[in-house]
Structure formats: C-alpha cells, structure tokens
Amino acid sequence: MTNEVDIGSITNDRKLELIPPSDPRVQCAIAPFNDDMLSEHHFKDRKELTDLMYETMKKYGGIGLTCNQVGLPFNYFCIGGHPQIESGLTIHCFNPIIVSSSDEEVLMTEGCLTFPFVFLPLKRPRKIVAKFEDENGDLQEANLDGMMSRAFQHEYDHILGRNFTEKASKLKLDRAFKKAAKQMEKYKKRIEANANT
C-alpha cells in the first residue's frame, strides 16, 4: 500500500470550501505558480483547477476568488462571471502583477467571500494595466477599468497576503463588523426556518 494518489481516479465531485480569515493561509503571500505544483494537490492541469475555482466562486456568489481563500497555495485567482459586468467576462490569472494604475481613484463599496456580510467603502485606482498567465499558460496583458479593475486589485491583494479590511479605518471596520454580525444572525434564522419547513 502506498500514499500515492492516481490523479486520474479523482472525480469531479471535489469541492472547495472557504477557510476562515483567521487561518494563516489567508494572511500569507503566495509564491509564484508553476504547473508542477498541481499534482501535489491532486489537480491534473490548470483547466481542472480553474473550473473548480470558478464553480466555487459562483457557489458563494462572488465575482472573484483567490486560491488562498480556499486553502490552496497557488498564485492564481479568477474574476468576473457576472452577467451584468463586462457581459459575464471571466478572467483566470496565474502569477498576476499590476504593471500600472491610474491616478484617478474611485470610492466603491467592497465585500469579500472571506468576510461574509462585511462591506467597506474603499478608494482604489479606477484603471490598471495587468499582466498574468491565463488558463492555457499564455502571457496576457489587460487594460482593466471599473468593476473588473476593482476585482483584480482586490484579489491581487489576497495574492500578497493582504485583505480589504486592512484598507479601512478602525471606526469603519468596527461598524462593518457589527452590521455583518446582525446580518449573519438574520441569515442563520432564515436557514433554520427553512430547515424546519
């Protein structure tokens, strides 16, 4: 008997779950990605990883998801997939970098799958130029604006081991967490009520 796993025998029933914000994996910068890393975590190729990450992002209702949010050590995130943002465009970003950003900043309210019900008004550059490898391993350059720029910057922070709560004042953060706790209680009551019917 060996501890080796036949990657070909792993089914597509695999699920990824969000890890809590207190988990050190969420708070650590991620090393550069290379394809050899995939087999260590039982993925046969980039396509299998990107499909599962996209499926997980949609399951949780997000427009962005980085590997460290689900406990994986890959320098990768996916963004988009919402029909009202860039006609549902989805971008898969391995080893992303932000090359430049506009001087113009925009204030928007952000949320994060790692912090359910926490929403914070944050300023970020409106436009960015980014480079990354896509799901096929090809180098891409993207000029992003609006919500796609915002989502890229938010997920890129995760790659660096940062999260959006670090960009808010203590006062705004305290208010957001109090409001989130109330929303979580309402959510739990709805779930319990639905389970009892």
- Helix, strand or coil for residue 90? strand
> Residue 166 catalytic?
no
Structural tokens at position 195: 């389970």
Residue 64: strand pairing partners? 79
Helices (H), 118-169: 146-159
Nearest C-alpha neighbor of 56 from the set 96, 17, 26: 17
Q: Which residue, chain included where needed, has tokens 């970098």?
A: 97
Which residue matches tokens 């967490």? 177
Which of the following is catalytic: 155, 166, 185, 192?
A: 155
Residues marked as catalytic = 155
